[in-house]
Amino acid sequence: MDTRKTKNLLLIVLVAVLSSAITLLGYDVISKNGKADGSAASQATSKEIGSYANSFDQNKNLVLTNLTTAEGYPDFTEAASRSVDGVVHVKTKTISQQQYINPFDFFFGFGDRTPAQPREQVGFGSGVIISKDGYIITNNHVVENATEVSVSLNDNREFTAKVVGSDKMSDIALLKIEGNDFPYLTFGNSDALRVGEWVLAVGNPFNLTSTVTAGIVSAKNRGNVMGGGLGIQSFIQIDAAVNPGNSGGALVNTRGELVGINTAIYSQTGNFAGYAFAVPISIAGKVAADLKEFGTVQRAVLGIHVPNIENIRREDPDRARELSQIKGVLVEDFSDRSAAKAAGVQKGDILIAINNAPIRNFAELQSQLNRFRPGDKINLTVDRNGNNRSFNVELKNDEGNTEITRSTDAMSKLGATFKPVSDDTKSKLGISSGVEVESANNNGLFRKNGINKGFIIMRINNTPVNSEDDIAKIVASTNNRQDKVLLVAGFYPNGRTQYIAIDLTND
């Protein structure tokens, strides 16, 4: 071989070696930065999720490294082992709320001689322990209207749970059990999840406890789930098997971190048929932190109106097609006292980023706004006639101000005290249940609705009451419902039976 050919061959080998080294170095750098998620926006959202974790004193050292088998496949065993200890079986009892009214009571004042028989119903679901002192995230629909909630741990210990608060819009509820040193799952960064990434669904499908299924993330920021029935439309879509009973359970990454709360399935039969949906922890964690601190969810709004493409599609398909091509969210109009308008945003602007996190559709806009509270300041980027402009926006609540709202104890709003009715008195009055109003203050809902001292309550929402605790349970479950109305059946001695509706949303 001549000298020139030898030099050319060495040059080719050197180029190949350098190319391989550069490729490997580049791959290593990308991997260390979380692939495509090493941006400032991803780091910022991770800090937000971290702040929710801090609300529950989570120890961030309690996570795993990504494990693989000797054959190079993902190894879920450690993540699964840790997750099943942090996921609980939730059991609920509810009373059927049939609005039965005996018409004879109105005309003849017979009292409670033929009471309706309420039916007790038992429901099951899952929940995730998120703190060592016993806070648990589950779905609102798992505990909605429940008069009693209990949870069973993986070690078969059983506890009565208190519903700290619930939120119908996100379908998230926060429970509390008493104790210390419970096993719990730490929050992961749901924003950093990538389509195609392996995840585990942990829960209790069909009452089968401690069940783990695996799948991949099929899509992110999925909207129009359950016919758009939920206010939050920014779900993680997965293909892990999720069935009835999984609701409120954990969606876990291969590091054993909680990245979502399993909430819904796509099925025509009611059982798993290919896809399931989870509320990302970036939303669920914030809701839980709000419920713990304030008793209610703090929602920040921009105060904008956006086009409803589905409605437009029925009347003007061409315009709907044009709107669907927009990468961002078009500002069609503003609500009263709009935060966006006050900051300088105009009709026709296209929202494309919040704090440098891209906004490509309405689901992504919701996903970002759900991280903030009224009074928070954000940097909003818009496309105005092809030019990008930035605005500093102070977010407001839906009433147009920046105040933080706190829930009040529903029982205290009634403004009344109660005492039991003796069995002898019940017999004389011809009733089988009853609690007497011992006092009613001027500012309470009872006094405002005509219920005063001496009034004997037989039933509330068609459920017999015999103690203040009975009333408190019914009031608590009603306060978690959308209508928040108590139907009180009772009477004054020697008076006819009255049916009085009390709206708990009124002060």
Pairing of strands 377-384, 350-354: antiparallel
CA-to-CA distance for 261 and 175, rounded, in angstroms?
A: 14
CA-to-CA distance for 378 and 372, rounded, in angstroms?
A: 9
Return the beta strands (E) in 2-104 as ranges.
87-95
Residue 27 DSSP SS3: helix
Place of tokens 């990308």: 30
Pairing of strands 198-203, 135-139: unpaired
Max Cα separation, the chain? 122
CA-to-CA distance for 395 and 260, rounded, in angstroms?
A: 26
CA-to-CA distance for 379 and 329, rounded, in angstroms?
A: 15
Exposure b/e, 177-205, CB count within 10 A at least 16 = b? beeeebbbbbbbbbbbbeeeebbbbbbbb
CA-to-CA distance for 271 and 213, rounded, in angstroms?
A: 14
Reading the block at residue 144, the tokens are: 């909605």
Helices 281-294 and 40-54 cross at an angle (nearest 10°) of 40
Instruction: Tell me how long the chain is.
Output: 507
**Residue of 171, 172, 236 lying closest to 199 (CA atoms):** 236
Question: How many CA atoms within 13 Å lie on the side-chain side of 282?
Answer: 26
CA-to-CA distance for 321 and 310, rounded, in angstroms?
A: 10
CA-to-CA distance for 162 and 140, rounded, in angstroms?
A: 13
Handedness of CA 372, 48, 64, 215 (dihedral sign): positive
Q: Are 431 and 437 in contact (CB under 8 A)?
A: no
Q: How far is CA 337 from CA 191, 304, 330, 392, in A?
A: 31, 10, 19, 16
**Residue of 440, 492, 422, 436 lying closest to 468 (CA atoms):** 436
Identify any residues that bridge with 136 across adjacent strands, giving them in sequence order.
Answer: 129, 175
Reading the block at residue 300, the tokens are: 């920040």
Please list the active-site residues.
141, 171, 247
Among left, alpha and beta (phi > 0; psi -120 to 50; other), residue 75 is: beta
Q: What are phi and psi of 122, to 5 degrees?
A: -110, 135
